[in-house]
C-alpha cells in the first residue's frame, strides 16, 4: 500500500466519522424535541479527531517524493 492509498483511506475514515457525528447530533436533537431529554454534550476531541485525520490524509495525498513524480511522468508519456 502506497502513501497515496493510505492517504485516501485516512480521508475516507475522517469523512465517515464526520458524517456519523452529524447523524448522531441530528438524532439527539430530534429526541430532545419529542422527549424529556433536556441536555446533551460532546467533547471537543470528538470533533477534532476527524478533522485531524482529514488534514493528515490530504497531506499524504498531496505530497509526493521526487521519485514518485518522475515515475508518474513516465507513465503518462
Each residue's pLDDT, cut to its tens digit, for the chain (77 residues) gives: 888 889 999 999 999 999 999 998 888 878 777 766 666 677 788 889 999 999 999 999 888 766 776 776 776 76
d(CA 50, CA 64): 23
| Annotated domain spans of the chain | 3-76
Q: What is the CA radius of gyration of the chain?
A: 19
Query: Hey, what's the cell of 58?
Result: 490530504
Overall pTM > 0.85 = no
Amino acid at each position: 500500500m502506497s502513501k497515496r492509498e493510505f492517504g485516501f483511506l485516512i480521508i475516507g475514515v475522517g469523512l465517515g466519522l464526520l458524517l456519523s457525528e452529524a447523524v448522531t447530533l441530528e438524532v439527539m436533537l430530534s429526541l430532545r424535541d419529542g422527549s424529556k431529554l433536556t441536555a446533551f454534550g460532546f467533547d471537543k476531541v470528538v470533533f477534532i479527531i476527524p478533522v485531524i485525520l482529514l488534514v493528515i490524509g490530504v497531506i499524504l495525498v498531496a505530497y509526493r517524493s521526487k521519485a514518485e513524480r518522475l515515475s508518474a511522468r513516465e507513465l503518462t508519456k
